[in-house]
Amino acid sequence: MKPIQYIKSRKNSAFTLIELLVVVGIIAILASFLMPAIARAKESGKRIACINNMRQLGLVSMMYVDENEGQFPPRSSPFWMTRLLPFYQNIGILKCPSDEVQAMPTNGVTGPLLTLFGASTADVAARSYIINGWNDWFETSLTAGEYVIFQNHQWQYGMRQTSIKYPSETILFGEKLTESFHVHMDFFQGAGNDQDQIEHSRHSNSSKPGSGGSNFTFSDGSVKFLKLGRSVYPLNLWAVTDKYRINWAYIKDT
């Protein structure tokens, strides 16, 4: 008697259309869960890179202060990007990876020719950061004539680090709006640059409104991530003087 042989049916050797659709559906569902996680991880990496850039700016600012009689870069030309350049050298740190900012338009003028127009490569580089202009302090500390010179970007003296009462709670650098070419944060321009030129929510790991925030370098060189609006409320951390630090929001509304 011949042994019984079991022959596998070809009918069961492949996926049916329904089985294939089920597999595709499962993959799509898994991808829908994974993609937000991947996006959050990618943004976290950019945020860390941005923090590192701002930490370097804080470090080189401290080096500049040590070599310039305890003063931060003055609000005059050449601007801080050029004055700090010998210390940071790589203009790439001026740009946050999460920011799509482009270099300033120069109408085709590049290299050494920029100096003929009062600019430098660092001045026109793609830049995500803005420095504190210290306007509230200079307004109360200079004479009327001196303050006019200051406003015209011709005051040759910078903010003294020792004049900042709360260096670990007073902002030195912040992230600016992508479309802004402002160099200094000025309380008295427009609605106030702390309101109309600062990016308060560049980094977010959630789609929920108000869940984001931005990075800030402080006057002692430290870097902190502040949630949306926390750089200006309940205390305005751009201000040096108590008058504007505590009452600035009220003053601007009256």
61 — pLDDT class (breaks 50, 70, 90):
very high
187 — pLDDT class (breaks 50, 70, 90):
very high
Residues 192-245: tens digit of each pLDDT: 999 999 999 999 876 665 678 999 999 999 999 999 999 999 999 999 999 999
CA distances from 76 to 37, 65, 134, 138 (A): 45, 16, 13, 14
Mean pLDDT for 123-130 is 93
Three-class SS of residue 32? helix
Residues 109-120: tens digit of each pLDDT: 454 444 444 567
Rg (CA), the chain: 27
pTM greater than the 0.85 cutoff: no
Residue showing tokens 């109309």: 196
Residue showing tokens 């750089």: 231
Across 91-128, b (16+ Cβ under 10 Å) vs e yields bebbbbbbbebeeeeeeeeeeeebeeeebbbbbbbbbb
Residue showing tokens 């310039």: 68
Each domain of the chain, given as residue ranges in start order, spans: 17-106+115-253
**Taking the CB of residue 87, how many other CB atoms lie within 10 A of it?**
15
| Beta carbons within 8 Å of 155's beta carbon, 6+ residues apart | 74, 75, 76, 138, 142, 146, 149
Q: Please name every residue paired with 184 in a beta bridge, in sequence order, or none if there are none.
A: 131
